[in-house]
Structure 1
Amino acid sequence: MNNLATRLAKMPSDQRRATLANLPTHLAKAAQAERLQSLLINFNFLEGKISILTPQQLIEDYDLVLQPSLKIAEQTKSSLQLIKKAIRLSSNILTQYKDQLAPHLFARLLSYKEPAIGDLLAQAKQSQKEPWLRPLFPSLTTPGGRLIDTLAGHNTTIKAVALTADGRLAVSGTYDKILNVWDLEIGEKCLTLQGHDAAITSVAITPNGKKIISGSVDKTLKVWDLETGVEKLTLRGHHSLVTTVAVTPDSKWVISGSRDKSIKIWDLATGEELFTLTGHDAPVRSVAVTPNGKWVISGASDTNLKVWNLATGEELCTLTGHNSSVTTVAVTPDSKRVVSGSGFKVSDPDTGSLKVWNLEMGTEDFTIEGDGSAVMTVFIASNGEQVIASLENAAIKAWNLRTQEEVFTISEHGGQIAAITPDGKRALAASPDGSLKFLDLGVPEVYSTLTTQLGRIITTIAVTPDRKSIIFGTDDGTLKVWDLETYQEQFTLKNQSLSLSVLITPDGKQIIASSQDNTLKVWDWQTKKEQFTLTGHAGVILQIVATPDSSMAISGASDRTLVVWDLKTGKERFTLRGHDYSVNAVTVTPDGQRVISGSADKTLKFWDLQTGEELLTVQGFNVPVCSLTITPDGKQVIFGLEDGTIKLWSLEKLEEVFTVLGHADAVWALTVTPDGKQVVSGAYDKTLKVWDLATKELLASFVAEGSILCCETVLDGRTIISAESGRMHCLRLEEGGDE
């Protein structure tokens, strides 16, 4: 099948489409196992099918090899399933970016040594005819780990998620007033529901799987048909936002809690309000119905739980014991016990806990002390033996309800757990970027060797003058120096707190890093000993640069100032004042005479580095300046804006040369290649892009799993290091063709 690409190219479009759609099924039905397995590791087939059809249609082809009638070696089946899982992990990206198949296969499969996978990657590299970014080590989530799929379809934070009883469908609601219905088996969106006038706060699905109930900041609940997405009813009666919803086991009534401190019971058939339960002294945070349908349990910000008779509306008892808001409640399948979780108080942050209560006696059975983090949501597995809690710090913890022993802790999964399947084995995590991560809780995470060794969120990176080593800062204040030729750690320095900016002076003698306590620390590269702590800023330091002669450092901060420091004495030379908002970006001209700063006040300022005098202010931008860099010849400055725009200005004429709308979100990372021919940009839209400065054309791009926070060119200048959250990417710019 080596000439498949040629044959596909010669076909009429309708024939090509039909061939890509039907050929795998045809081969499976004809029991042509060898041809089928060859087809599924043929990169041209994979690329063709994704470009014309959908990733899901390609994913389904890999299930054909599992048919008993096909004689395929187990090792080959295993390799094909890894390829399938890799495509599924990237399906949300491949749907939008068809050109990302090759880089994503490399970034997910490069650590696997199976012959079939090696053959596929070799074909992928050989098939590239245009410049592309080839990952040099696996830096995206690898198949076979905890992550099953990423569901992308919301643009804002997800506030509520519910699952059908069989775990096949999920419903998510967000700040953007939209509900999405997802098919978890194929990882695709089925329906989008719109009708609320404000953010959605809560969602539930009836046990019979027929209706969705959503609660909103607009003070209403809406009832939707799950199959068609049609809005059936709007329930009005609350005087403040609806915070929580639950449905009775017979799917006939819905219970809602509100910030107005009340609980309302509604008839789902008619939309009639049946009665209102009052008694809490603060907003109701969570409600649950016992599986026997007899009681409602409510938790509120008054730190109490209340048990209500669902038939009469009578308050049966109040459960007291938490010392902060009761954020979540769940009931065991036998209706005998309730588990509640609490948040934390500012005055006493170590108050997050779980309590288990005896519903028949109205007494506390025991308390499960957590790690001090607020309990956001609690779930009980269908066997009634395990309680699973999602914590404010994004960790998941599970305990055995009988022995009270901790079963597992999962700390890295990409978001806040929002729903768990009834068997407690799978979960949906709401990520900050508006996506849902579908997770297998029973599978340990699989990391590449480098990712395992990093183990933290990378916040900043810098490269040594010889471009052979890199230093990066992490969210716990650690600074690590790595050899880029061996990918081995050289040494580690410990900062006081998270570093948002780090640099190595041009002479390679000093490392400088910012801390969240508004200070800079300076270390000697050779001795690894701290030389100075630089104090002077009244806000968080966002960027540091050094003069070409390594005599001075300049820092920009959220306090609206730049400070110029003497690196020999550790003393402040002077402070540059003039910006109205935070200084997001700083750079120095190659001659060391001028500093350029970009600010959230939507301006660029030019400063004389010898006198501290403000030379020029450039205005007229509609959004904040996020990033800055200068070409090696000092003739042009390039800056990235919050709206995704990249601008290039001439420093000789002080005028704009060109503008490109390069990204869909803020550009926070910019660097120029050593030869001055290309600029690399990274943005919150998860993309890294390489631009030709002469032609202004996009040369290549890479789409990551999270926002690109920083980037640098290393080694020969054609290798790019970039960071997103807990991952570091090492990408090689290749010309394509026979390279």
Structure 2
Amino acid sequence: MRPILMKGHERPLTFLKYNREGDLLFSCAKDHTPTVWFADNGERLGTYKGHNGAVWCCDVSRDSTRLITGSADQTVKLWNVQTGVQLYSFNFDSPARAVDFSVGDKLAVITTDPFMGLPSTIQVKRIARDPSQQTGESVLTIKGPHGRINRAVWGPLNKTIISAGEDAVIRIWDSETGQLLKKSDKETGHQKPITSLSKSASGSHFLSGSLDKSAKLWDARTLTLIKAYVTERPVNACAISPLLDHVVIGGGQDASHVTTTDRRAGKFEAKFFHKILQEEIGGVKGHFGPINALAFNPDGRSFASGGEDGYVRLHHFDPDYFNIKM
């Protein structure tokens, strides 16, 4: 499996997202410029210029016409995917961390960081079909729990919002009233900050990755713990294969400790686990720093990883991968 190396960012990668067809890959990084690539050959298609801070997260609409990006510059921006034109900018009083379009793209959930005495928030914005009608007000604002909310995604049928972050608790909120419906308990839940949430293709379950060196698979409605995958390094990113019963987990020790150790000791590989059997089935090496972002192509035949080293690596699976016997 020879990876395609994509060098378009000056700074560490933060997030990767494929569009629904799987022909485009969007990347966010600590430089200020989200980038779009062709997902088959890794050719850079264009960039979205306008942010003044690290871009933490992005999402793309189902018809691939609009991109939403959340940034440390205290804005969330809507873009025209094709032209790169900025359609709207939501302004906040603190850095925006996570963004996620609802099914149908009529709503977006956004999280903001605790900042200058303000608590973290989860906000829902209505997304207008016509950008000239777009407004900035929130349909719902949930004053968040303590600490930063690293990820918030929509639950099944847009009825709930699932959030997780620094306090290591996964919470499910009613997306209309903002009421807290469920939260993960100390026994089954993570012990350290949660870095990532990744939904299955059907949306019925999701995977959480944490600095406690594990990833966990949960039922999206009941928040029942289904499976756990344990590694020997903090998990920064995780993804669920839409095709096979596989999950991929990536991470590595903190970047500040990396220079003191050997590249192999840093454990910068994407690890594949069997979703049901919870056993490790293989790893993909290559990054020169922790892996911060992972995404499966919607067809399940390739995946992308983004690292602290500023590279996006695009891997098309060999035929052998589809015949792994457990």
TM-score, length basis structure 2: 0.71
For the Cα contact (< 8 Å) 2:122–2:144, is it kept in 1?
no
In structure 1, the partner of 2:172 is: 356
Classify 1:422/1:294 alpha carbon distance in 2 versus 1 (closer, same or farther; 3 Å): farther
Residues 283-362 of structure 1: pairs in structure 2 closer than 5 A: 283-302=95-114, 303-311=120-128, 312-314=134-136, 315-343=138-166, 351-362=167-178
In structure 2, the partner of 1:427 is: 247
In structure 2, the partner of 1:409 is: 228
Letter in 1 for 2:171: K
Q: CA deviation at 1:398?
A: 2.7
Question: Of 34, 48, 59, which residue of structure 2 is paired with 1:246?
Answer: 59
Question: Of 175, 178, 181, which residue of structure 2 is paired with 1:365?
Answer: 181
Distance 2:220 2:135 in 1: 30
Residues 86-165 of structure 1: pairs in structure 2 closer than 5 A: none
Query: Larger C-alpha radius of gyration, 1 or 2?
Result: 1
Distance 1:436 1:394 in 2: 13
For the Cα contact (< 8 Å) 2:168–2:190, is it kept in 1?
yes
Letter in 2 for 1:260: D
Classify 1:384/1:393 alpha carbon distance in 2 versus 1 (closer, same or farther; 3 Å): same
Distance 1:438 1:245 in 2: 24
Distance 2:102 2:32 in 1: 25
Give aligned-pair identity as a percent. Answer: 21
Classify 1:225/1:360 alpha carbon distance in 2 versus 1 (closer, same or farther; 3 Å): same
Could you give the per-residue CA deviations for residues 438-460 of structure 1, whole angstroms, max 9, x where no partner exists?
Answer: 2212114389xxxxxxxxxxxxx
Letter in 2 for 1:282: S
| 2:258 counterpart of 1:439 | no
| Structure 1 residue matching 2:158: 3-state secondary structure | coil
Residues 258-277 of structure 1: pairs in structure 2 closer than 5 A: 258-277=71-90
Distance 1:379 1:228 in 2: 25
In structure 2, the partner of 1:146 is: none
Classify 1:360/1:226 alpha carbon distance in 2 versus 1 (closer, same or farther; 3 Å): same
Q: CA deviation at 1:376?
A: 1.1
In structure 1, the partner of 2:284 is: none
Residues 562-711 of structure 1: pairs in structure 2 closer than 5 A: none
Q: CA deviation at 1:208?
A: 1.5
Letter in 2 for 1:410: Y
For the Cα contact (< 8 Å) 1:388–1:399, is it kept in 2?
yes
Classify 1:424/1:309 alpha carbon distance in 2 versus 1 (closer, same or farther; 3 Å): farther
| 2:238 counterpart of 1:418 | yes
| Structure 2 residue matching 1:236: 3-state secondary structure | coil
| Structure 2 residue matching 1:439: 3-state secondary structure | strand
Classify 1:227/1:371 alpha carbon distance in 2 versus 1 (closer, same or farther; 3 Å): closer
Distance 1:362 1:423 in 2: 34
| Structure 2 residue matching 1:220: 3-state secondary structure | coil
| Structure 2 residue matching 1:398: 3-state secondary structure | strand
For the Cα contact (< 8 Å) 1:381–1:424, is it kept in 2?
no
Letter in 1 for 2:123: K
| Structure 2 residue matching 1:250: 3-state secondary structure | coil
Classify 1:403/1:236 alpha carbon distance in 2 versus 1 (closer, same or farther; 3 Å): closer
Provide the aligned length of Structure 1 versus Structure 2.
253
Letter in 1 for 2:162: V
Structure 2: stretches of 5+ with no match in the other structure: 115-119, 129-133, 253-266, 282-287, 289-326
TM-score, length basis structure 1: 0.32
Distance 2:224 2:177 in 1: 24
Q: CA deviation at 1:422?
A: 4.0
Could you give the per-residue CA deviations for residues 78-123 of structure 1, whole angstroms, max 9, x where no partner exists?
Answer: xxxxxxxxxxxxxxxxxxxxxxxxxxxxxxxxxxxxxxxxxxxxxx
Q: CA deviation at 1:431?
A: 4.4
Q: CA deviation at 1:424?
A: 9.0
Letter in 2 for 1:439: F
Distance 2:249 2:85 in 1: 34
Classify 1:235/1:383 alpha carbon distance in 2 versus 1 (closer, same or farther; 3 Å): closer
Could you give the per-residue CA deviations for residues 521-555 of structure 1, whole angstroms, max 9, x where no partner exists?
Answer: xxxxxxxxxxxxxxxxxxxxxxxxxxxxxxxxxxx
Classify 1:228/1:380 alpha carbon distance in 2 versus 1 (closer, same or farther; 3 Å): closer
In structure 1, the partner of 2:310 is: none
| Structure 1 residue matching 2:48: 3-state secondary structure | strand
Distance 1:380 1:195 in 2: 27
Letter in 2 for 1:337: T
In structure 2, the partner of 1:459 is: none
Q: CA deviation at 1:415?
A: 5.7
Letter in 1 for 2:10: D
Q: CA deviation at 1:296?
A: 0.9
Q: CA deviation at 1:378?
A: 1.5
Classify 1:366/1:429 alpha carbon distance in 2 versus 1 (closer, same or farther; 3 Å): same
Q: CA deviation at 1:413?
A: 6.5
For the Cα contact (< 8 Å) 2:150–2:165, is it kept in 1?
yes
Q: CA deviation at 1:225?
A: 1.6
Letter in 2 for 1:397: K
For the Cα contact (< 8 Å) 2:68–2:79, is it kept in 1?
yes
Query: Please, what is the CA RMSD of the aligned residues?
Result: 2.4
Q: CA deviation at 1:337?
A: 1.4
| Structure 2 residue matching 1:353: 3-state secondary structure | coil
Letter in 1 for 2:87: L
Q: CA deviation at 1:414?
A: 5.9
Distance 1:401 1:195 in 2: 35
In structure 1, the partner of 2:206 is: 387
In structure 1, the partner of 2:35 is: 222
- Greater fraction helix: 1
For the Cα contact (< 8 Å) 1:414–1:437, is it kept in 2?
no
For the Cα contact (< 8 Å) 2:109–2:124, is it kept in 1?
yes
| Structure 2 residue matching 1:334: 3-state secondary structure | helix
| 2:47 counterpart of 1:234 | yes
Distance 1:227 1:423 in 2: 17
| Structure 2 residue matching 1:409: 3-state secondary structure | strand
Letter in 2 for 1:330: V
Deviates more, 1:199-208 or 1:233-242: 199-208
Distance 1:270 1:444 in 2: 43
For the Cα contact (< 8 Å) 2:24–2:36, is it kept in 1?
yes
For the Cα contact (< 8 Å) 2:156–2:204, is it kept in 1?
no
Question: Of 212, 236, 243, which residue of structure 1 is paired with 2:25?
Answer: 212
For the Cα contact (< 8 Å) 2:140–2:176, is it kept in 1?
no
Structure 1: stretches of 5+ with no match in the other structure: 1-187, 344-350, 448-664, 666-739
In structure 1, the partner of 2:323 is: none
In structure 2, the partner of 1:278 is: 91
Q: CA deviation at 1:396?
A: 1.7
